[in-house]
Structure 1
Amino acid sequence: MPERPLLLLDVDGPLNPYAAQAQRRPAGYGTHRMRPEGWSAGRPLRVWLSPEHGTELRALAEAYELVWATTWKGEANTWIGPRLGLPELPFVDWPTMHGRAPAGTFWKTQYLLEYAAGRPFAWVDDDITSYDREYVEQRHLAGALLMYVDPRRGLVRQDFDALHAWAAEL
């Protein structure tokens, strides 16, 4: 049996629609106050999470290997996963965060190709652009789905349907 494709998950944007208006929390989301390592602001970080995302991601785990691809790194297993009912997941341990990136790409892109190591992957993030798609298409021979998620709304039903359909086509 071939390895399942990777589902590389960003937190802020896809799971936490941080860019929604503060007074208009998206329907179905709960407010969580968190103090991850390195958070130095006086007030805890506000994070909006939807329990429905946990249900959808657990269903996708039948077709994908779920991996945190977020600046939360392993802390996603402490702060995010439990609130979504997810088990501990592997995470991309970025060698450098927010650094320079090749060919106009987002800084994560080069590292995600290294992490995937030739495996098919789907990546959900709010920072994906056409430069990232072109870069991956030119350098990654296996299938890849780069899904931009609007950080004002987070992942929606159509996104989960597209992820299921893409995995089924591999």
Structure 2
Amino acid sequence: MTSGPECPLLFLDVDGPLIPFGSSSGHPQDSASDTWTSADQGNPLLTRLDPELGPRLIALGCQLVWATTWMEEANEVVSPRIGLPRLPVVEWPASSTAEGPRGLHWKTRAIVEWADDRPFIWVDDEISAIDRLWVDASHPGPSLLHRVDPGKGITDADFSAFDDWLRLVIPR
């Protein structure tokens, strides 16, 4: 799948989905720690990044987009550690108190605007039922708001859910 108007977007959060908050056991530690940049010095959670995630995310065939408070720093620190190229970054509103129903995540509106009418997957650890309802009512295209367990990060089961949804939306 190529990144064109028909290609689904995949919005990625970092903390929780890519850097799990649970035990670091089972998450490979990069042996090339001497190549870290000054931006990632002092962040011991970066050792929880799984370098296999980047190739698996790319293989989904979606246009990947950072949807994280890391903003452009995700391209500097996270992308190289998991094998991703530089990705576009969703710019967040200056205020996190945008209008919307009570409980709507502050990222939701910006993600839907960024997606325009394109199909998208949003991978985050803070997605709620309110976000799903709001997106269903506000976004004309297909969407999958996929909540990841922040203690585990993205797992094989999550990748299966992405694949299943993509097969329904974009016949391969």
Please confirm whether the aligned pair reaches a TM-score higher than 0.5, indicating the same fold: yes
Pick closer, same or farther for the CA change 1:147–1:35 going to 2, 3 Å.
Answer: farther
Provide the rounded CA distance (Å) in 2 between the counterparts of 1:169 and 1:126.
23
Count of residues in correspondence between the two structures: 159
Name the residue aligned to 1:5. 8
What is the TM-score normalised by the length of structure 1?
Answer: 0.85
Provide the rounded CA distance (Å) in 1 between the counterparts of 2:96 and 2:28.
28
SS at match of 1:12: coil
Name the residue aligned to 2:54. 54
Q: How does 1:87-98 map to 2 (within 5 A)?
A: 87-96=85-94, 98=96
Provide the rounded CA distance (Å) in 2 between the counterparts of 1:75 and 1:114.
22
- What do residues 85-130 of structure 1 show as CA deviations (whole Å, max 9, x unaligned)? 1111111011226444521211000110111111110000001000
Provide the rounded CA distance (Å) in 1 between the counterparts of 2:144 and 2:80.
26
The aligned amino acid for 1:78 is E
Query: Do the aligned residues in 2 keep the contact of 1:26 with 1:153 (CA within 8 Å)?
Result: no
Name the residue aligned to 1:117. 116
Provide the rounded CA distance (Å) in 2 between the counterparts of 1:55 and 1:5.
17
Q: CA deviation at 1:151?
A: 0.7
Q: How does 1:24-63 map to 2 (within 5 A)?
A: 24-30=23-29, 36=39, 44-46=42-44, 47=46, 48-60=48-60, 62=61
The aligned amino acid for 2:71 is K
For 1:66, which of 58, 61, 64 is the aligned residue?
Answer: 64
SS at match of 1:30: coil
Name the residue aligned to 1:75. 73
- What do residues 10-47 of structure 1 show as CA deviations (whole Å, max 9, x unaligned)? 00010000x21xxx31303327787649xxxxx82222
Name the residue aligned to 1:127. 126
SS at match of 2:54: helix
Pick closer, same or farther for the CA change 1:71–1:35 going to 2, 3 Å.
Answer: farther
Identity %: 43
Provide the rounded CA distance (Å) in 1 between the counterparts of 2:137 and 2:129.
12
Unaligned runs of 5+ in 1: 38-42
Q: CA RMSD in A?
A: 2.2
The aligned amino acid for 2:108 is T
Query: Do the aligned residues in 2 keep the contact of 1:35 with 1:45 (CA within 8 Å)?
Result: no
Pick closer, same or farther for the CA change 1:132–1:154 going to 2, 3 Å.
Answer: same
Provide the rounded CA distance (Å) in 1 between the counterparts of 2:26 and 2:87.
27
Unaligned runs of 5+ in 2: none
